[in-house]
């Protein structure tokens, strides 16, 4: 069943010169999760940061760290991100040869497991692993850069995954990441999403606007 809309601001759009303070501001502004985008310059054409910075900012908030790993090979780094304080680790099926094994590894370390679907990844790829998942992430842009435009074709994928989750009756978050703003957020929610990743839209206008931006993204 679709839950109330929650917002996971992507710290990729934060001011990195004061990252800890930015996360505290997001916490106080009403963020539900903190979305941590990890990019390696190999699986995606950009580099962000790794487990050491994730660990450094973990103490500044108690909000769940929603860690999205856009890296390959992936299994070697799962334990490092668990140690860094990840509450949820989301992987891409294309990032390793045996993604079910990677999901098992994540779960064995006591954190929640998510699976991310790129625009070109079919929804049926989840069918044999969905029982082990806590989160499904629809990428509504091709991963690697912030500030891209929402791909409308993602809406059909969100609806299809909502149907799969509801048929299973499991408590699985349905998250959308990419081009989420005040116009596209309600479309994603209407299609069935209940967790929205928003970078540029959350940080628009500076810290004084974070709380209002998050409320607007939630449709409040």
pLDDT at 187: 98
Annotated catalytic residue, options 87, 134, 177, 194: 177
Region 180-189 average pLDDT: 97
177 is a catalytic site residue: yes
Cis peptide before 73 (omega within 30 of 0): yes
* pLDDT tops 80 at residue 146: no
pLDDT at residue 5 is higher than 90:
yes
How much is the average pLDDT of 2-29?
A: 96
Work out the average pLDDT over 128-143. Answer: 96
What domains does the chain contain, in order, with CATH numbers? Answer: 6-217 (3.20.20.70)
35 is in an annotated binding site: yes
The answer to whether 42 is a known ligand-binding residue is no
Q: Read off the pLDDT band of 129 (50, 70, 90).
A: very high
Q: Tell me, what DSSP letter sits at residue 77?
A: H
Catalytic residue among 32, 37, 40, 194: 37
Instruction: Report whether 203 belongs to an annotated binding site.
Output: no
pLDDT band at 176 (very low <50, low <70, confident <90, very high): very high
Is 90 annotated to bind ligand? no
Burial class (CB in 10 A: 0-12, 13-18, 19+), 81: buried
Question: What does the alpha-carbon distance between residue 8 and residue 18 come to, in Å, rounded to a whole number?
Answer: 19
The pLDDT confidence band at residue 4, using thresholds 50, 70 and 90, is very high
C-alpha pair distances (Å), 7 with each of 61, 94, 151 = 15, 26, 19
Phi, psi of 177 (to 5 degrees): -140, 120
| 37 in active site | yes
According to the model, what pLDDT value does residue 143 have? 83
pLDDT band at 161 (very low <50, low <70, confident <90, very high): very high
Does residue 145 carry a pLDDT above 90? no
Nearest to 123 by CA among 135, 138, 144: 138
d(CA 104, CA 95): 15
Rounded to whole angstroms, the Cα distance separating 214 from 193 reads 16
Using only C-alpha atoms, the chain has a radius of gyration, in whole angstroms, of: 16
Query: Is residue 177 part of an annotated ligand binding site?
Result: yes
DSSP string, 155-215: HHHHHHHHHHHHHHT---EEEEESS--TTHHHHHHHHT--EEEESHHHHTT-GGGHHHHHH
Residue 14 buriedness (CB in 10 A; 0-12 / 13-18 / 19+): buried
Give Cα 25 distance to the centre of its chain.
19
Q: In angstroms, what CA-CA distances link 183 with 35, 152, 186, 189, 196?
A: 20, 12, 7, 11, 13
- pLDDT, residue 148, reads 80
pTM of the predicted protein model: 0.96
User: Does the annotation list 68 as a binding residue?
Assistant: yes
State pLDDT tens for residues 79-124.
Answer: 999 999 999 999 999 999 999 999 999 999 999 999 999 999 999 9
Q: What span, in angstroms and rounded, lies between the C-alpha atoms of 51 and 116?
A: 19
């Amino acid at each position: 069943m679709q839950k109330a809309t929650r917002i996971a601001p992507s710290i990729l759009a934060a001011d990195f010169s004061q990252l800890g303070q930015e996360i505290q501001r997001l916490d106080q502004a009403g963020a539900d999760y903190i979305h941590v985008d990890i990019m390696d310059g190999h699986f995606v054409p950009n580099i962000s940061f790794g487990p050491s910075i994730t660990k450094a900012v973990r103490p500044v908030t108690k909000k769940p760290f929603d860690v999205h790993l856009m890296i390959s090979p992936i299994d070697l780094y799962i334990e490092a991100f668990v140690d860094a304080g990840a509450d949820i680790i989301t992987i891409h099926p294309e990032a390793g040869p045996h993604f079910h094994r990677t999901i098992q590894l994540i779960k064995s370390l006591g954190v929640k497991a998510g699976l991310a679907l790129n625009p070109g990844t079919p929804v049926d790829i989840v069918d044999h692993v969905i029982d082990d998942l806590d989160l499904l992430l629809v990428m509504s842009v091709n991963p690697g850069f912030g500030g891209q435009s929402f791909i409308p074709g993602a809406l059909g994928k969100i609806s299809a995954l909502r149907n799969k989750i509801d048929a299973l009756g499991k408590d699985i978050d349905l998250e959308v990441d990419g081009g989420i703003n005040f116009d596209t957020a309600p479309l994603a929610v209407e299609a069935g999403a209940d967790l929205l990743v928003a970078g540029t839209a959350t940080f628009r206008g500076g810290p004084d606007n974070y709380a209002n931006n998050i409320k607007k993204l939630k449709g409040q």
